[in-house]
Chain A
């Protein structure tokens, strides 16, 4: 597998191969590049950011995120759980909206305040 390292702006082109001895990484110019390439190849992780409907607030939507990166393949399932829910205002930054989203151990937390509409 070929990928461009995104740890720093140098953008090394890294090749990751698996043989009998294990993973083989080429093209990285530093140790962090190797770690990045292995993580991306074996189990890429992503933070999900989206927004959720909110009622009675001074905004229609509240922006949210996972409080830690979740496996990339879980993103679709997590969005599915979030698209149907509506929560009630007020909400504060950091408030947990959903616990253990898509069985990832990560929580969905609000990233902004939404006050009651005046």
Chain B
């Protein structure tokens, strides 16, 4: 089978669905979503807990409810999609090869492509826990699929490594299903999960959360029999003598997510080493002409609401691209003190305000985020508190962008409040000058 489309969207999860709807609403007619699962909605379908959609819809929906709003949106617009369809290759000339048991090999020629493949969980291999290799070691999301979609309980005596939100949610879920969650170990001195989840998923059920602790060994021949945990020092190295053996039949890993970019790499899309996702401009256009990216394939988001929003940004980019709008600049964004990453990485047009998303690389209190251009301060925003677990955003006005060189560099950094006084004179000159 061979088809031609205006836009091919790789992935029918929250990013792909929102991108498809927004592309349609931008006037693009010929859209095709390619989804490898047997239903649309992606990982939301197994996230049966509430907490989705508070920003976007003003109410707390469950994952399936959030997904259904977008699935209905796709169906109402008669947007085409193929299920059970695995994309095996994307070429940089925007030819896609996909496989499907009914249609066989499908060749799709697209004018534009939106990458919306999402992310995968890091596994035991990714964090290299030594020891035996018995059954009973699962990623938290895999356990979630088993419990919520398939009706299997992965075990009865559970230890969870990692206090990200999926791990916390699963601690409660397994408790509700009758398992005994013995503890959650977190290698960092803080949790990347929401305070609400720590309260409602751990504290409600007296599940201990051990900071600065990790699993250093897995024991068991056929089935997991126990794990050795240890306290770690400030460099995250286990402290000798602090080891403890914990009997358990199941270890869940909630140790981070990795954007799934094998297909992107095959198309020569350049990736950011920090995010693991493509390097993009403000329209989420990657380094390859006509290939865009959004959602967790680009960088891991805190909330699905922001994934939907980003998908709409990418759709606007695709609409501009198909109309032939070209970029007029290449302003790069570099990160200074306190900043882990930004999206976008470059700004390629100066027609609109640009929303800059960023994540801190540590916990900081009482200071500000500054955008600087050479010696000039473009923008300052105060923050009482900034943490890696929360994606922040600031808006750069187009009037400011238009005063910069086409190939200039904007630097974003965190400054403590005490550093601030010396800048006042400078800020004054800028506010009069711009």
Contacts and interface: CB of A to CB of B under 8 A. Distances in A.
Contacts, number: 65
The secondary-structure label for the interface of chain B is helix
Contacts of B176: 48, 50, 75, 79
B384 A51 contact: no
A42 to B, nearest CB: 15
Interface string A88-111: 000001000000000000000001
A53 B62 contact: no
Contacts of A44: 204
A16 interface: no
B89 to A, nearest CB: 30
Contacts of A111: 48, 62, 64-65
A65 B62 contact: yes
Interface in A35-72: 44, 46-51, 53, 59-61, 63, 65, 72
A112 B39 CA distance: 12
Contact of A46 (B45, B68, B151, B200): B200
B60 A4 contact: no
A9 interface: yes
A79 B148 CA distance: 14
A113 B385 CA distance: 41
A51 B49 CA distance: 10
Contacts of A60: 149-151
B196 interface: yes
Nearest to A47: B50
A51 B48 contact: yes
B199 interface: yes
Contact of B48 (A5, A50, A72): A50
B50 A65 contact: yes
Given A63-B48, A112-B68, A4 B150 contact: no
Nearest to A63: B48
Nearest to B67: A112
A3 interface: yes
A93 B68 CA distance: 9
B151 A6 contact: no
Given A11-B195, A49-B48, A49-B50, A113 B148 contact: no
Nearest to A5: B195
Nearest to A79: B176
Contacts of A9: 195, 385, 387, 390
A4 B199 contact: yes
Interface string B148-168: 111100000000000000000
B194 interface: yes
Contacts of B148: 51, 61, 63
Given A4-B199, A51-B48, A53-B151, A72 B62 contact: no
A112 B147 CA distance: 16
Interface of B: 45, 48-50, 60, 62-65, 68, 147-151, 176, 194-196, 198-200, 204, 384-385, 387, 390
25 contacts: A3-B199, A4-B199, A6-B195, A6-B199, A9-B195, A10-B384, A11-B195, A46-B200, A47-B50, A49-B62, A51-B149, A53-B151, A59-B149, A60-B150, A60-B151, A61-B149, A61-B151, A63-B48, A63-B62, A63-B148, A65-B48, A65-B50, A75-B176, A93-B65, A111-B62
